[in-house]
Amino acid sequence: MELIFLGTGAGVPSKGRNVTAIALTMLNERNSIWLFDCGEATQHQILRSSIKLSKLEKIFITHLHGDHIFGLPGLLSSRSFQGGETALTVYGPVGLANYIRTSLAVSGTHLKYPLEIVEIEDELVFEDATFRVTCKELEHGILSYGYRIEEADKTGALDAAGLAALGVKPGPIFKELKEGKTVTLEDGTVVNGSAFIGPSKKGRVIAIFGDTKVTPNELAVARHADVVVHEATFAADMGDMAGEYMHSTTLEAATLAKNAEAKQLIITHISSRYSRDDNQSLVDECRTIFPNTEIATDFAIFEL
């Protein structure tokens, strides 16, 4: 899995940062891509990346401010012309369906693929055999969500050496043993597959936050996450303004990551008042509290 940051700015685009959009690529895990938020010109950013819209399976919208949704109608339309034929589901706050359907209707846009719009009514957003997505409400003056993406634990590795010692050769029988089945060999030896499977590998956890001021709900989303992606619209000395506009500072994002016992923090949604030259000072502020912090820039890729 990889996180690809397509836009890392706050409020309005700047020359150095487009507005918010984050892609989670899962080509090995489910041969698809998920998108979190879709600010204006996201499809243009995608043209400069390795992302294919035909692989886009789900879009998760954190909240309905323009810098997080104004790119949706164009992207949904363009997907029809870029080989997108499989179903696409868009999740987000109440009001999202009206925005999308109205935009498509008044522009006469006809999609060539099934589109499902799910307005969130519960903390469980999506779940299948491989991933579970939950959410919590944040505090931003408008309904805003933080998403927790949990990968299912993976079965442990098969002890091929131990099986070889019993005379079991690689082949179809390995698949049965990997599934924990009991197999009888040609010589009558009974092999219990579960005895040759190593410890399961814990699935990865990713926390992606919408815009928010500090709120207790954040901890449940970020707890023990492998990666926390959190806005840091303002530097530490702008705490009053951050509170007024219901955003977070660098130190507040870092404090959350520390309290959640997360492994890594990536800060994004940086105010246009800060230039690329300010990146190091912003990330250094975070590192005073949470050392394993990085700052996202447009087109930055983080492997998970």
Rounded to the nearest 10 degrees, how much is the dihedral formed by the CA atoms of 121, 53, 209, 260? Answer: 110
Residues 138 and 178 in one domain: no
C-beta separation of 298 from 45 below 8 A:
yes
Residues 135 and 90 in one domain: yes
Residues 183 and 68 in one domain: no
AA identity, residue 148: R
Q: What is the mean pLDDT of residues 138-156?
A: 95
Active site residue 37: no
Residues 60 and 88 in one domain: yes
Q: What is the mean pLDDT of residues 247-258?
A: 98
AA identity, residue 1: M
Looking at residue 193, its pLDDT comes to 87
The single-letter DSSP state of residue 134 is E
Residues 213 and 271 in one domain: yes
Please give the residue range of the domain that contains residue 7.
2-152+203-303
Q: What is the mean pLDDT of residues 97-119?
A: 97
pLDDT band at 100 (very low <50, low <70, confident <90, very high): very high
pLDDT, tens digit, 9 for 90 and up, residues 74-95:
999 999 988 889 999 999 999 9
AA identity, residue 36: F
Residues 186 and 273 in one domain: no
Residues 41 and 172 in one domain: no
Residues 231 and 255 in one domain: yes
Check which CATH number belongs to the domain holding 97 and give it: 3.60.15.10
Q: What average pLDDT is seen over the chain?
A: 95
pLDDT band at 154 (very low <50, low <70, confident <90, very high): confident
pLDDT, tens digit, 9 for 90 and up, residues 177-228:
888 899 888 888 889 988 888 888 899 999 999 999 999 999 999 999 999 9
Report the alpha-carbon distance of residue 304 to residue 301 in Å, rounded.
10
Check whether 224 is labelled as a binding-site residue. no
Looking at residue 186, its pLDDT comes to 82
Check whether 230 is labelled as a binding-site residue. no
Check whether 68 is labelled as a binding-site residue. yes
C-alpha closest to that of 66 among 39, 41, 46: 39
Q: What is the mean pLDDT of residues 153-182?
A: 86
pLDDT band at 252 (very low <50, low <70, confident <90, very high): very high
Cβ burial 150-189 (10 Å sphere, 16+ → b, else e): bbbeeeeebeeeebeeeebeeeebbeebeeeeeeeeeeee
Q: Which of 67, 153, 240, 278 is catalytic?
A: 67
Tokens of 84: 């997108």
CA dihedral sign of residues 117, 122, 126, 127:
negative
CA dihedral sign of residues 176, 177, 180, 182:
positive
Domains held by the chain: number: 2
Residues 117 and 90 in one domain: yes
Tokens 């007024």 locate to: 244
| CA–centroid distance for 91 within its chain | 13
Q: Does the pTM exceed 0.85?
A: yes
Output phi, psi for 92, to 5 deg.
175, -175
Check whether 140 is labelled as a binding-site residue. yes
Report the alpha-carbon distance of residue 64 to residue 296 in Å, rounded.
22
